[in-house]
Every structure is written in structure tokens, then in C-alpha cells.
Amino acid sequence: MYFSRIILSVCLALTTCSVAAIELTDSLHSLVLDAKQVLTLDNTADFTATTVSDVETERLGPNSIAVYAPENAGFYNLVLSNNITRKHLLVIVKTPFNANNKQLNNYQIGLYPAPYKNYPQYSAPNGFIEVTQEDLTRQLTPHVQIKNVICKQASGFPKYLYVNNDGLLMLEELLTFVQNEGIKVSKFAFISGYRTPHYNRSIGNGKHSRHQYGDAFDLYIDENGDGRMDDLNGDGKLTIADVDVLYKAFEKFQKQSRYNGGIGRYKPASHHGGFVHIDNRGFTARW
């Protein structure tokens, strides 16, 4: 019966359901899924779902578990355990969205442009994470909260956010990499994360800005809490040279990881300190 159900789930991928796979790692903290999506969670040989989980799962084989996303949008808990530890995952089910619409529950989304050069990674999202004011402090990763990456456009609640699983994993792995490079940082500070096309257009950014697609972030390091990039090169000044330190670390990260995308450097200005952009667009871009 179990395997027949899996076959049915694969068949449903052609209609209302989709099947994807992701590996259970230390970096994995949350899963962003479509309603009724079936996700294969690999590297789970000795893990089982506990009774406190409110997401249905099923053992597929010796190393994989099927995760069945609930039908209703919202936040759900999945707790896996083995003889040594427990792994808590936040399962986030998106609210469906028709890309021909400009609004979602009175929240301005705007119209997504046609995909850049027909790349599928530039397709409009088919759903968004619904966010209440209480949700702003939810942890998407151990070091990133919803408030760090939500669009800055002015509106009431609910607001809507798009971020994808690879974008979140990239942030967590990037932080560990930068720490291992000897740069003092406990967590990244954010200039920008997700932007709706409506907001992106209002600030005059390019119509295919990667910030609209769930895996682009403008980051800086602010361990002293003054709202500006720290003195990373140790010269006692806050200049573009500090941005270059972080930029070079991000470049090294992309060369050594599975992530490939854009990296851009931005010098300090009157209204913000210097920062570095990084995304996972699937091809190399530098500025």
C-alpha cells in the first residue's frame, strides 16, 4: 500500500501535486512547499517522524522519507528523531497565486515580467508565504528570521513573501563559510531580501531583478550594531575596502559550493553602509 501511494503521488505531479527531493543536513531548518506537494527527504536513514509532528510522512526506502504538505497554507512542524538527536523542521505551505493577478488579499504583488531569456528560474512564483505580524520573528534558518527577508513595501497585514529552499540553504551555508574564513560574524545583517515586482519597480530597479525570485540577498556584517558594515579590513575606516573583503569571500564560496549566481559590491552611501549582493540565479554574474 505504501509504494502504491507513492506511485499515485508521482502521478499527481502532473496535476495538483509536485514531487521534489532535498537532503536532510545541519543547514536545513525549514521547507517551503506548495499545497499538497510531495517532498522526498533524503539522508534520513535512522530518522523517524515523532508523534508531535503535524505533517504526514512515510518511509520510502532505507534512506528517504516522503513529506506530504498539508492542503491549507500555513506553518507546520515536522520533528524527526533518532537515537541521538531530534531535528525540528518548519514546514511552510504557500498560498497559491495566479501570476496574472496584481494583488493577493489586497497586498500589492504587481506583474512579473516574462522570464529572462526564457530561463525557468525566472518564472513567476506560483505561491507566496502569508505573513502576519506575529510571524515576523519566525526563524527560517537558525540565523534568519522572516523580518530579515520580507519585502520593505508599506502595507498592512497579511504581507506575502517569496523565498525558496535553495536560497535559505545558501544563506546558512554562506554564513558558515564566511565564519570559517576567519571573518567575525554571528549572523548577517540585511539590506534587502525579497521584493515584489510592484516594489521593485517603485525603487527603479531592473525588471528582472533577482530579488523577485526568492534567492537574492543584500548582506553586510554588523557585529557592533551601528547599522553599517563593520571595519572588516582593520584599517580603522568604513570604506569600499571592507565591502571588498566580503565580496571576495562570497566569490570564493560560490566557486567551492553548488550555488552559482550573481555577486555585486555596493559602496557606502549616506543612507546605508556598504554591502554585497548574492543570488543563486544559475549562471555567473559580477558587478
Q: Stretch 60-68: mean pLDDT, rounded?
A: 97
Q: Name the domain boundary from 93, 123, 150.
A: 93
In this prediction, residue 18 carries a pLDDT of 53
pLDDT tens digits for range 175-189: 999 999 999 999 999
Residues 142 and 278 in one domain: yes
CATH number, domain with residue 81: 2.60.40
In eight-state DSSP terms, residue 233 is T
Rounded CA-CA distance 104/102 in Å is 7
Rounded CA-CA distance 70/55 in Å is 7
Q: Which of 128, 136, 229, 220 is nearest to 174 (CA)?
A: 220
Residues 67 and 196 in one domain: no
Contacts by 200-208, CB closer than 8 A, 24 or more apart: 200/110, 201/110, 202/153, 207/113, 208/113, 208/116, 208/122
Residues 49 and 68 in one domain: yes
- pLDDT-derived band of residue 104, with 50, 70 and 90 as boundaries? very high
Residues 123 and 204 in one domain: yes
**Maximum separation of any 2 CA atoms in the chain, in Å:** 67
Q: Name the domain boundary from 93, 123, 143.
A: 93
Residues 23 and 59 in one domain: yes
In this prediction, residue 19 carries a pLDDT of 62
Residues 155 and 272 in one domain: yes
The domain tally of the chain equals: 2
- pLDDT-derived band of residue 100, with 50, 70 and 90 as boundaries? very high
Residues 172 and 216 in one domain: yes
In this prediction, residue 255 carries a pLDDT of 98
Question: For residue 131, what are the domain limits?
Answer: 97-286
Residues 83 and 222 in one domain: no
pLDDT tens digits for range 3-35: 434 434 444 443 344 568 999 999 999 999 999
191 pLDDT more than 60: yes
